[in-house]
Amino acid sequence: MAVLSVYIINKAGGLIYQYDHNSSRPEIEKTFGYPLEVVLKVHDDKVVVAFGERDAIKVGHTVLGINGIQAEGRFLRDGRDILEVLAAEENYPINIKFGRPKLTTNEKIMLASMFHSLYTISCQLSPEPRSSGIEMLETDTFKLHCFQSMTGIKFIALTDPRQVGVDQLLKKLYEVYSDYALKNPFYSLDMPIRCELFETNLQVCIEQSERAATGM
């Protein structure tokens, strides 16, 4: 059980804080013969799997490296084009590392804005007035929990599906926000949070929640 990451979104939908706690992403490394058994394409300047799932390699996985050379976008660190390397039969057998890349700052900002819009839409779709909006979204690999304060600040936690006590964690994070961000004379409301005391206490709250969930 684990808390994966925390997002804080202001009332306008802007991302003002994000923290990755347990966001390690599995990597799969495999040696292939020619021709390559998966179909790759360039998407957002990355080489991704478009078709041909196998051996835990999934559609959407990105090429992270070839023969121990790290990928940087659609190119290897030595400057070679990844698709050109994989198209050349003389380069086989070839070792390819796949995985899901970490989100960039811009991608996190975009996702925060999208969630804010979905939250607003869910409130408008509710047949009853004063809907609480989205409180939890569940998938087979993680859960998204959301708590919105009276001032419209959203606290979001992505967790392991088995993690318990997340509602209490989110309310505790709101207390930490009130004590260490809002009371900071150098912090402007709705602006990105850059406060060491806030981040330290946020990490403590997450670790306490994880220990409580495991009974330690």
Residues present in the chain in total: 216
Percent of the residues in the chain that have a pLDDT greater than 70, as a whole number:
97
CA distance 134 to 143: 12
Report the pLDDT value the prediction gives residue 1, as an integer from 0 to 100. Answer: 62
Beta strands at 154-159 and 143-148: parallel, antiparallel or unpaired: antiparallel
The single-letter code of the amino acid at 108 is K
Q: In CATH terms, is domain 27-99 a member of 2.30.42.40?
A: yes
User: Token pair for residue 81?
Assistant: 């084009």
Query: Which residues 6+ apart lie within 8 Å of 92 measured at CB?
Result: 32, 33, 34
Mean pLDDT over all residues of the chain?
Answer: 91
Contact between 174 and 146 (Cβ < 8 Å): no
Q: What average pLDDT does the segment 100-125 reach?
A: 91
**CA separation for the pair 145, 159 (Å, rounded):** 8
Using pLDDT thresholds of 50, 70 and 90, give the confidence band for residue 130.
confident
Q: For residue range 171-205, what is the model confidence (pLDDT) as tens digits?
A: 999 999 999 998 888 888 889 998 899 999 999 99
- Listed in order, the ranges of the chain carrying CATH 3.30.450.70 are 3-23+104-214
Residue 8 CB-density burial (10 A; 0-12 exposed, 13-18 middle, 19+ buried): buried
* Comma-separated ranges of CATH 2.30.42.40 domains in the chain: 27-99
Return the CATH architecture of domain 3-23+104-214.
2-Layer Sandwich (3.30)
Average pLDDT over residues 3-12: 94
Query: What confidence tier does 85 reach under pLDDT thresholds 50, 70, 90?
Result: very high
- Neighbouring C-beta atoms of residue 175, cutoff 10 Å: 11
Helix residue spans in 49-165 (DSSP H): 82-87, 105-125
Q: Integer distance in angstroms from the first to the last C-alpha of the chain?
A: 12
